A and B are shown apart, each in its own frame.
Chain A
Amino acid sequence: MDRIEQLMKDAKPHVGVPDAAPGSDSARSMVFSTDPNVVPRAGRAPGRRIGVRTVAASVVAAAAVVGAVLVGGNLMLQPAPGPAQTGTPAPSASPAPSAPDAPTPAASQAGTSAGALSTGGVECTLANVDQ
C-alpha cells in the first residue's frame, strides 16, 4: 500500500450500518408483499414521503367533503318518488261514506283480486256484519 492509498483509506468516513438494509423496503413491497408474517416497519419516514402523504390525505379529505355535499344536495332536492304502480292498488282503509251498500271501486277491485276479502256471495250490508 503506497502513501496515497494509505492516506485515503485512513480518511475514509465511517459509514454505519443502516437501521435496515438498504432497499429492504422496496424488497418487501415487491417480493414479500403477500407474506402474512411480514410486519411493516414502523419508524422513520423521510420528510418528502411525509409531505406526499399529507398532500394525499388532504386531497382524499377534500374529495370526501365534496362527495358528502353532493350526496346531501341530491337527497334534499330530489322529490320523493311516488308508489310504484303495481296494477293491484291497496284497498282503501276508509269506507265510502255515501254508499255503504255499494262497494267502492277500490273494494270491488280488491274483491276480485284478493280471495281473502271475498264475501262469498253474501250481500255486503251492515245487517250481515257479524257483531
Chain B
Amino acid sequence: MSGESTMLAAKEQAFIDLHTQHSARVYRYIACPISDRHRAEDLAADVVRIAWEKQLAEPPGIGWLLATARHVIGNEYRGRRRAQELVERLKDEARSQVPGTNAEERAAVADVLVGLRERDREVLMLSYWDELTTAELAQTLGCSPSAAAVRLRRARRAFAKAAPSHLMTERKD
C-alpha cells in the first residue's frame, strides 16, 4: 500500500514536472497559427493529457510533445482550413500592431509565409517561432536530424525566393 502510494506520488510529480516544464511551449506552438486562444488552451491540455496517458518509460521531451501537438492540430484543422487559420492569425496580428516600418515588414513576412508550401512554412515556424534545435525539429517532424536540417535549408531557400528583394535587405537604423 505504501509502495503504491509512493509510486502514485512519483507519477503525479512526474506529470507536474512535465506540465511545468513544457506546457507553455506547447501552448505557444499551438496558439501561434490559430486565432482561437481558448481552443489553443484546450488543445495544449489535450497534448499534456495524451503524454500522461501514454505512460511513457521516459518523460517526453519537447520534440515528442510538439509532434503530438502537430497531430492534434492536424485533427482539428485540416488542409486548407489550417492555412486559412494562419492567414487570419497573421492578419489579426498585423491589425494589432502600431502602423510603421516594422508592421509593414511583418505583414510582408506574413504574405510570404502564407504563400509557401505548408511543409516549408511549418519547418520555419518550428525553427524560429518555437526555437527548436535540429534534434528537436527532427523528433517533431518524425525524421532524422540530417533530414530535418535538409528540410530547413529547403524551406529557407523557398522563403528567400518568395520574399521581395527589399525585404531581404536588412534595415540600417
Contact = CB atoms under 8 A, between A and B. Distances in A.
Interface centre among A8, A14, A44 (most CB of B within 10 A): A8
- Name the prevailing secondary structure of the B interface residues: helix
Nearest to A44: B38
Contact of B124 (A8, A13, A19): A8
A10 B26 CA distance: 20
Interface in A9-53: 9-27, 30-31, 44, 46
Contacts of B124: 4, 8
A11 B15 contact: no
Contact of B159 (A4, A14, A20, A31): A4
Interface residues of A, number: 29
Contact of B32 (A5, A13, A30): A13
- The contact size tier of chain B is 35 or more
A7 interface: yes
A20, A24, A27 pick with most chain B CB within 10 angstroms:
A27
Nearest to B27: A22
B148 interface: no
A122 B128 CA distance: 115
A110 B105 CA distance: 108
Contacts of A31: 12, 15-16
B122 interface: no
Given A10-B106, A11-B105, 16 more contacts: A4-B156, A4-B160, A4-B168, A8-B128, A8-B129, A9-B128, A9-B129, A12-B32, A13-B89, A22-B45, A23-B49, A24-B19, A24-B45, A26-B45, A26-B48, A27-B16
20 contacts: A4-B124, A4-B160, A7-B109, A8-B109, A8-B128, A11-B109, A12-B32, A15-B28, A16-B37, A17-B24, A18-B27, A21-B19, A23-B23, A24-B19, A25-B45, A26-B45, A26-B48, A27-B15, A27-B19, A30-B52
Interface of A: 3-27, 30-31, 44, 46
